[in-house]
A and B are shown apart, each in its own frame.
Chain A
């Protein structure tokens, strides 16, 4: 009983106190809203220009130094294309950049960008000394032996010397597969839920061959969920055929690796 009276009294006091303190403010004029600050949205273009990707920055700087060198090599690039199986373009560093780009998820219109691809990619980076060296040496030999094939290359698409998907191409493919992948709800959310699948694709986006990496894990005791996870990923790929692949540059993406990771969705 006493407790209630005490509480009531103290609440009354609080209200009166609060009222006396706040009331004067009601007499003041309303605060003006601060002026609207315009914000510039950064466009995602085919060319990487992300300031926060440290590795990319380094590589871009490196490349800018070598830009002149690269442009001199422009004609030989086409020559190299003639023998794609002999000297494939080294692209590990380029891939790293692309990975940094993946963090951003701004879907762009694909059609527009695809047309511009070839122009941008001529400036694209090849920053290893090895390539330069290779090109020098091979140029002489190949030029002699591949005059005929030269003509063929010229009629090919003059796109895509890069060896990774552009940001928008990747987003398109991802969006497609996101829709097809039914993640098994029963998976344990606190385990490693990554399954990597290597695909060999046909130009129209259908799958010729698929291979699950970490295949040994499928039959490990206690890892029964891995098999379930892998099967769900395979089903997703099946459902999504033909995959949303770029219309050009088949050589670039004919070997594709999809890394399915259910962790994000299941951890909630």
Chain B
């Protein structure tokens, strides 16, 4: 009996510590960086809804049109590879109920989007699902309604949700970009304010081109724009209401005001005011109209940008002889220089995530778009070009949009200005299509919040 007990306890004792350790561990430190293969099945619409849609929007097959929007969005991130529809085996209506995952793994899809749209009292109702093809389960299911004419935004919202679920980051597809549309000879460019969806559709012009307009920026609710206009040959900062088109001059300054931005709460406009050869930074409260002077230095202080919490401002100053980037508290105190590399630094803009400041750098005749941490460390240059500047952040702080100009030949021919975007990792540099030449882009926040 004693012996048996002894053996039993020995067995137990050995079991406890060792069983846990009898596990082989293998470290997997490499993989491939291929974009995720994703299948976007056309959204299913029944025949009667199809007819009503066509009457409303003149679009034949709304289901596939919306999926095209989604595919294009996902593709431009460089993170996804939307598969060709010709290979799809399952029909949209069946796929949406319960996909036959074998059919989708056959074409090497790892994720699948299915959905359907119906008319509900003159509105469209969208249901969509995101499936993990390999794990054979649903990852996401959402439904929402909107007016038929908003169908492109439906595609953008689906893209945002899918992007967020698969990358862990908020999306940036349901957004707009405001920029300056330009035409004409380099010596006399005609410039207009233009606004478009981030995928280049629905372009609208907000000014006529009769006066020079520059550097437009959205307010946090995306309903107002602040910009510089040379109306009546007096360069001043203006406010424009996108809905009504009404423009008003900001403040009553006796000289040029320029480089305007909104504060993160949308209540103030921060800008530069130039007088007698000196440019300083000022703010004006849009409600009280109270003007506050933020910098007071004989050097040029311009391009101010608030941190997302409104506590700090980064700006461009040549107080140390050449253009550098500085950070100060929002009341103008505690000014610190943060750029120390070789070359000139300009156009600092604070990321909506608060962690980085993007900038333009000029060194040895080349222009760079780069980012650095808010204390100036970790400077990374993302792209180099003959001429490029003025980066603006996507609302999730992952992508930068900026503009480039081309070199002209000796006759002055061949000039063009275009918008470009690049991912924070330095990958995925791409041209943003615009109807005309374009410059000074600025990204809105997410339209749906």
Contacts and interface: CB of A to CB of B under 8 A. Distances in A.
A134 interface: yes
Nearest to B166: A228
A252 B23 CA distance: 8
Nearest to A86: B11
Interface string A154-195: 000000000111000010011001111111111101000000
Interface stretch (B28-36, B197-205, B259-267, B403-411): B28-36
B141 interface: no
A225 B169 contact: yes
Interface in A204-249: 224-228, 231, 233-236, 238-239
Nearest to A231: B132
B10 interface: yes
B22 A91 contact: yes
A185 B80 CA distance: 9
A150 interface: no
B168 A186 contact: yes
A225 B168 contact: yes
A239 B134 contact: yes
B72 interface: no
A91 B32 contact: no
Nearest to A163: B22
Interface residues of B, number: 38
A182 B25 CA distance: 20
Contact of B18 (A90, A137, A179, A228): A90
A102 B29 CA distance: 11
Nearest to B169: A186
B169 A165 contact: no
B135 interface: yes
Interface of A is mostly: helix
A184 B24 contact: no
B10 A134 contact: yes
Contacts of A257: 23-26
A93 to B, nearest CB: 10
Interface string B155-184: 000000000001111000000000000000
A228 B167 contact: yes
Interface stretch (A3-11, A17-25, A260-268): A260-268
Given A235-B132, A238-B135, A239-B134, A255 B32 contact: no
A177 B28 contact: yes
Contact of A252 (B21, B24, B33, B36): B24
Contacts of A186: 77, 79, 167-169, 398
B297 to A, nearest CB: 33
B24 A165 contact: yes
B7 interface: yes
A87 interface: yes
A110 interface: no
B132 A258 contact: no
A62 interface: no
B21 to A, nearest CB: 5
Nearest to A224: B168
7 contacts: A90-B17, A181-B32, A186-B77, A239-B110, A257-B23, A259-B28, A265-B31
Given A165-B26, A257-B23, 7 more contacts: A102-B26, A180-B31, A238-B135, A256-B24, A258-B26, A259-B25, A265-B31
